[in-house]
Amino acid sequence: MNVSDKQWKNLFLVCAGLFIGAAFCMKWMEGDLLVNGEKFTIMGLELFYSKEKVMALLGNPGDPIKTILNYHLHFDFAFMAGVFPGIAALCMMVRGKVRSSVFKKMLFLLALLQLAAWAGDIYENLSLIKWVKEPVIGDEFALYHFIVAAKWIIALTGALVPGVVLLFPRKKELKTHFIF
């Protein structure tokens, strides 16, 4: 079965709606993520905080904060359903507009890699949910950070490369025109 450009566009639009809706809900909750008067962020939990800080934040945040954090992490599953298939659809839409077989293969690979990024994001969320329930983090913290960093690299690459590829002319005779 061959998926048409229109189907990729429709998937992209549905994913954009999921992305925007879930992002709005998560942003709304973010202001309530406070432990001992100190604000913390999901990005900090994902990438920047040390194992000790994550354990301290999740150790005894209080039931309201645990509830908000759990809601945030569960909304993130909807966010993921918008982000990763949306990036894959973007790659495939651009793939349909280029002639270069190298770009076509690269964009297809980036679209496929979004599955790995999505799996990494699921692992990340499940780890955080587990640590919220019981803030005992073993030796898996280094693996957790590696997977989260890889997820971000794959997703950002998948989101940025199609835009860069579009800067290349579609046909040799249209050297002054770009595809936008």
- What confidence tens digit (pLDDT) does each residue in 104-148 have? 999 999 999 999 999 999 999 999 999 988 888 888 999 999 999
Contact status, residue 35 vs residue 55, Cβ threshold 8 Å: no
How many angstroms separate the CA atoms of 132 and 61, rounded? 9
Residue span of the structural domain in which 153 resides: 5-174
Per residue in 17-31, pLDDT tens? 999 999 999 889 888
Q: Is residue 133 part of a domain?
A: yes
Asked if the structure places residue 64 within a domain, the reply is: yes
* DSSP bridge partners of 35: 38
Give the model confidence (pLDDT) of 57-77 as tens digits: 887 777 788 888 889 999 999
Checking 58-67 for CB contacts under 8 A at 24+ apart, the result is 58/131, 58/132, 58/135, 59/135, 61/35, 62/35, 64/32, 65/32, 65/33, 65/34, 65/35, 66/132
180 lies in some domain: no
Q: Which of 9-13, 83-87, 152-156 has the lowest mean pLDDT?
A: 9-13
Q: Is residue 44 part of a domain?
A: yes
CA distance 120 to 102: 27
Domain-embedded: residue 104: yes
- Whether residue 179 lies inside any domain: the answer is no
User: Of 87, 100, 95, 89, whose CA–CA distance to 153 is shortest?
Assistant: 87
Q: Tell me the C-alpha distance between 124 and 143, whole Å.
A: 10
Taking the model in full, what pTM does it have?
Answer: 0.86
**Confidence category of residue 174, pLDDT binned at 50, 70, 90:** very low
Instruction: Provide the residue type at 109 as one letter.
Output: L
Within-domain flag for 134: yes
Total domains in the fold of the chain: 1
